[in-house]
Chain A
Amino acid sequence: MRRLVALILTLLAAGCADLLVGPDAATDPPAMLEQVWRDVDRHYSFFAIKDVNWDSLHTVYSGKVGPAASPAHLATAIGSLLMALKDYHANLWTPFGAWQYFGPAGRTAVFSEFVVQDRYLTDWSASPYGNLRFGHLAPDIGYIRIPTFDGSSFGPDMDVALRRLGGVRALVVDVRGNGGGSNRNALDVAARFVTGEHVYAYVRFRSGPARGDFTPPHAEAVHWAGALYTGRAIVLANRGTYSAAEMFVLMMRTVPGVTVVGDSTGGAGGNPLTRELPNGWTYRFSQTITSAPDGTTFEGTGLAPDLWVPGNNVALMGGSDITLDSALAVARRALP
């Protein structure tokens, strides 16, 4: 018995994890740069769309990162490498900063929640789980603001908002500046506007080592759930509308009578794959291609609105949200 106990303790105490599963990967800077480059090469989905020579970038950046490179220098190199993809979902997080691409220079996303609240709404409430803010633009016109699709319980929040808006005949749903979050939350909101099944997009995953290897397109659909809103719906979007918020725009475009007002969305049409480096830094990049039902992709370009009324900073500073003004005009035209 003593021998058995000794054997067990010896095996456990040996902590033979290194022997059994191997040590952590090397943390030398060139190896970590190589890991990121190889991961992107193996899993990134938009090589055919982006104007980027990934092989050439390997040559450029591997020459910049030697074994003695400082962590800050390595972070800058990896961050710059990922930024070359010009992809909202290509990110790096390190103690030295975060890298994220927000579109080409000159793009603006003009919006002020304060102006909407102060100059347009007659009342203003937050939903029980804090995901939505809502009120009335006019007795028959409701307004729901969704600043992000991060979080949970969007469905119950929508049910409460629709009930408390009291059967408005037109509803403005504002996702301007919404940087995304979970598609599930976007589905939970859109589910209040549809009957039956609405296919809103097709998704393909990168599936092999060749840059053209993809899974077959998979139809993405939204189904009715919860309280059903049957009045006129207007969606507000702009260049700050990204990712899951763009999925929401795609979902809402399938609803008859919905009008999208504002500017084109940011253009982040990929589901991100998140990875770690041996030093604990995290990075991610797109692993899917999302297409609209007509087959068009919007990565980098965004989804065009039905009514193009980009925000105007000068007007906004004067207390006027011209995008919302246009949405109100659309809503009033729709009401008898």
Chain B
Amino acid sequence: MTLFAAAPLVSHAQEQVATRARRLEVAGGVAALSLRDEAASPLRYDGAAPLLQLGYTALRERSRFSLRGGVAYGSLTAATSGGGLPSETGVHGWIEADYLRALGTGTGRWRWAAGGTAAFRLAARNHSYANPIGTTLWYGFASVSLAPAVELERPFGDRRMLAAALAVPLVALVSRPYSDAQVFRYGVPVRAVLVGRLQAANLSVRYATPVAPRADLVLGYRLVVERLRDLQPYRWASQSVWVAVSFRREGAGSREAQ
């Protein structure tokens, strides 16, 4: 689950022409999670988890910097689960920063931007096994990744905006401690992996519409996929939908689009 995404898309038509603006976004939603961590089990675990995400965006005339942090918490079960066992319960957190610059004149119906995303992601899970002695072990997966990102926007006027973004990490530092017994003794092992070893992508789609002079309502969807080719492969997918309120503050020198 590493990386993440190029992100919440951009903005609004108004912001496309503002020279400086800042946005603060609060989002809540639900994620459909699927996990197959063969360090813990060959079984696939699925479930839903509520999520909360905060975002900050600084907009310039032709660039944008975004910082987001979020967390989701939930329980996943396998096809063989009965009476709640076996199960995976844990927290998934992420911090992402991306920088995008507009491509072309930015005056057409479709607007392109490209840049990069740096992301830190962490999953810490308790795996409860279905045995009579009640074995529960801790497993983790953490990554810091760098990804090129591309974004496509379609403004509709009246500050409505549809945008999609895609980021594919090329390099990452990953760690997957699989038992606290080992981690407490030897620390957390960290490895550098390239795109061939870590196959990941982050796709997001957002639709924003104004609800107040300085606030927009944002509906979003995001798909995060991560596969680590390892002795015991790790596969993770998250599909999330959320609703966000985005507050905008214009900076000095900004100008409103009409």
Contact = CB atoms under 8 A, between A and B. Distances in A.
Interface stretch (B95-103, B117-125, B178-186): B178-186
B135 A284 contact: yes
A152 to B, nearest CB: 12
Contacts of A275: 40-41
Contact of B135 (A20, A22, A274): A274
A12 B32 CA distance: 8
Given A7-B205, A276-B43, A276-B86, A20 B34 contact: yes
B60 interface: no
Given A24-B44, A25-B43, A282 B135 contact: yes
B12 interface: no
Given A35-B42, A276-B40, A276-B43, A218 B185 contact: yes
B34 A21 contact: yes
A8 B31 CA distance: 12
A213 to B, nearest CB: 12
B46 A280 contact: no
A264 interface: no
B130 to A, nearest CB: 6
A99 to B, nearest CB: 12
Interface stretch (B106-114, B167-175, B218-226): B218-226
Interface in A95-128: 98
Nearest to B38: A25
Interface stretch (B3-11, B77-85, B245-253): B77-85
Interface in A175-220: 203, 205, 209, 215, 218
The main secondary structure of chain A at its interface with chain B is mixed
Interface footprint category on A:
35 or more
A5 B162 CA distance: 12
Interface in B14-37: 32, 34-36
A24 to B, nearest CB: 5
A278 interface: yes
Nearest to B79: A24
B235 A20 contact: yes
Interface footprint category on B:
35 or more
Contact of A4 (B80, B135, B207): B207
A93 B227 CA distance: 30
Given A4-B207, A7-B221, A203 B42 contact: no
A276 B205 contact: no
Given A11-B221, A93-B131, A280-B78, A22 B44 contact: yes
Given A24-B79, A215-B186, A271 B42 contact: no
A1 B207 contact: yes
Contacts of A150: 133
Interface in A205-256: 205, 209, 215, 218
A215 B187 CA distance: 12
Interface in B212-258: 219, 221, 223, 225, 227, 231, 235-237, 239, 241
Contacts of A215: 182, 185-186
Contacts of B44: 17-18, 21-24
A218 B205 contact: no
Contacts of A274: 129, 131, 135, 137
Nearest to B209: A1
Contacts of A11: 221, 223, 239
29 contacts: A1-B207, A4-B162, A4-B219, A8-B205, A8-B221, A8-B241, A12-B32, A16-B237, A20-B225, A21-B235, A22-B235, A24-B42, A25-B42, A209-B231, A215-B182, A215-B185, A218-B185, A218-B186, A274-B129, A274-B131, A274-B135, A274-B137, A275-B41, A276-B40, A276-B130, A277-B42, A280-B78, A280-B80, A280-B130
Given A35-B42, A215-B186, 7 more contacts: A4-B162, A20-B225, A24-B78, A218-B185, A218-B186, A276-B41, A278-B42
Interface of A: 1, 4-5, 7-8, 11-12, 16-18, 20-25, 35, 42, 93, 98, 150, 203, 205, 209, 215, 218, 271, 273-280, 282, 284, 288
